[in-house]
Amino acid sequence: MNHAAPGAVRRRLIAVGSLAAATALAFTGCASGATGGSTEAGDDTVGVSLIVKTTTNPFFVAMQDGAEAAAKDLGVELTMAAGKEDGDEDSQIQAVENAISKGDAGILITPNGPAVEDALVKARDAGLFVIALDTPPADPESVDITFATDNFAAGQKIGEWTAAKLAGEKATIAMVDLFDDKVVSVDVARDQGFLDGMGIDLADDTANGDEEASGTYSGGDYEIVGNEASQGAEDGGRTAAETLLSKNPDINVVYTINEPAAYGAFEAFKAAGATDDLIVVSVDGGCAGIDAVKDGIIGATSQQYPVKMAELGVKAIHDLVTKGTTPENSEGLDFYNTGVELVTDDPQEGIDSIDTAEAADICWG
């Protein structure tokens, strides 16, 4: 399939591969207290609620598509809900309450923040099997398992690539994060993974922004101009970049939490006439993001697989109800790792990567 193939075709292709992968997912005997899974008295239908952060990000739209396809294949009754925006905890809490009231067998959720986790504990207490997708919760006891990208590794990959690309040049770094008013694991893991990949000492690896403002990375000197929140959105990325540029116009490296934030950040630098030798790196790997790598807007991105996360989640709850089996974490990890690949058309020696042509065949959105 070429790069211009429609996103729907791509999604069908990745759905085939990820559903096949789902059959290899490790399972164990059913844990005590697991749900029976009927949606109504006398009804054998397996009910699942998918609750994503927002539907304005193609990542979560792709996740919905994957869950919908898997639910259709398995005969699962799927209910979908979302926050009004990234960080909207109240809408997600209401969706969790609705899932409990309906008697769903399980919930798949990309939690918008720690306030949602009390509701998830309530759902577990009510007998629902709760799977976090993409974003591990701050309280691991609020879910039964997480299916996610290794976000620290995703950050490391773009950090290692950036350090190699700089080839000893000073790194003047802008950090465009997700939030500044709450702590979300994916935000910390990607940020800290990037800096670790650069070879920068992390100080407290559970906190963003506490690193030394200047020092040495694996290839030379660095300066971190600051951390700004983007809410994971294009307009937020632009505002964050404008703020950081006002502090230091010599920024040559921009880390972004996701690709929408990267597009906005690049536009800010373009408006300032500051894109020469600029390195922008990100995480997601959606089809639009792969196009941005191909066009030179993003230098490298770490591609993750939301369709696979959702399909595996639907299958896990279905198998729990119909076979009495539960999924297991990947070996050596406290979650099930759904994989990540570095994507760039500017490969660096010693850094494993795939190019945009290969990434386009497995992208989403």
Query: What average pLDDT does the segment 136-143 reach?
Result: 92
**DSSP of 106-169:** EEEE---STHHHHHHHHHHHTT-EEEEESS--SSGGGSSEEEE--HHHHHHHHHHHHHHHHTT-
Percent helix, percent strand, percent coil in the chain, to nearest 5: 40, 20, 40
Query: What average pLDDT does the segment 181-206 reach?
Result: 96
Ranges 19-23, 223-227, 247-251: which has the least confidence? 19-23
User: Does pTM surpass 0.75?
Assistant: yes
pLDDT at 4: 33
Query: What average pLDDT does the segment 335-351 reach?
Result: 97
Contacts of 3 (CB under 8 A, 6+ apart): 290, 291, 294, 356, 357, 360
pLDDT at 17: 40
pLDDT at 365: 82
Query: What's the mean pLDDT when you consider all of the chain?
Result: 90
What is the fold of 7-149+305-327? Rossmann fold (3.40.50)
- Print burial letters for 296-333: b (CB count within 10 Å at least 16), e (below 16): ebbbbbbbbbbbbbbbbbbbbbbbbbeeebbbeeeeee
Contacts of 296 (CB under 8 A, 6+ apart): none
Q: Residue 108 pLDDT > 90, yes or no?
A: yes
- CATH 3.40.50.2300 in the chain, residues? 7-149+305-327, 151-303+342-360
Using CA atoms, how far apart are residues 276 and 288, in angstroms rounded to an integer?
22
* Chosen CATH of 151-303+342-360 out of 3.40.50.2300, 3.90.1150.10, 3.40.50.300, 2.40.240.10: 3.40.50.2300
DSSP state of 259: H
